[in-house]
Structure 1
Amino acid sequence: MLIRSVEKFLRTYDMPATKFGRLAAHDPRFVLDLRMGRIPRQQTEARIVAFMAGFEAAGQHKRVSANVG
């Protein structure tokens, strides 16, 4: 399911849901709507998956790291 992938992405990159929505879908409510049961069109889902893959590949992120010491 798309929502599981998105939630994992948000946790991994410590990104707010609204920021993800704006960047990936040009809709700040996108993730909130997914959480409420929205089922995106196939094209939209493909665009979101491509955004996540491109984000990871481009290294535009700061991974969440545990504070040690």
Structure 2
Amino acid sequence: MLIRTVEKFMREFGVPPTRFGRESVRDPRLVFDLRQGREPGERIKRRIEHFMNTYRRSAGQ
């Protein structure tokens, strides 16, 4: 489930929900909406995954 991956990422890197949404898909409400059951499309999922992978690489992990 995408929200679990996002929550784990935010805990691991100390990224607040609004910042995560804004930087990954330009939607500061993204994480709050995911918590409420929003199911994003494939394009948004790919953008989220790309953001997390890029962030991890830049953090040296």
- Which category describes the TM-score, using the shorter chain as reference length? over 0.9
Task: State the match for 2:5 in structure 1.
Answer: 5
Percent of pairs with identical residues:
47
Deviation at 1:33, TM superposition (A): 0.2
Structure 1 runs, 4 residues or longer, greater than 2 Å off: none
- Distance in 1 (CA, whole Å) between partners of 2:47 and 2:14 is 21
- Distance in 2 (CA, whole Å) between partners of 1:13 and 1:40 is 23
Q: How many residues align?
A: 60
Deviation at 1:25, TM superposition (A): 1.0
User: Where do 5+ consecutive residues of structure 1 fail to align?
Assistant: 61-69
More helix as a share of residues: 2
After superposition, give the CA deviation of every residue in 1:15-58 in whole Å (9 maximum; x if it has no partner).
11001010001000000000000000011001101100010011
The higher relative CO (CA closer than 8 Å, separation ≥ 6) is in 1
**TM-score w.r.t. length of structure 1:** 0.83
User: Where do 5+ consecutive residues of structure 2 fail to align?
Assistant: none
Task: State the match for 1:64 in structure 2.
Answer: none
What SS is found at the alignment partner of 1:31?
helix
**TM-score w.r.t. length of structure 2:** 0.93
Q: CA-atom RMSD, angstroms?
A: 1.1
Task: State the match for 1:31 in structure 2.
Answer: 31
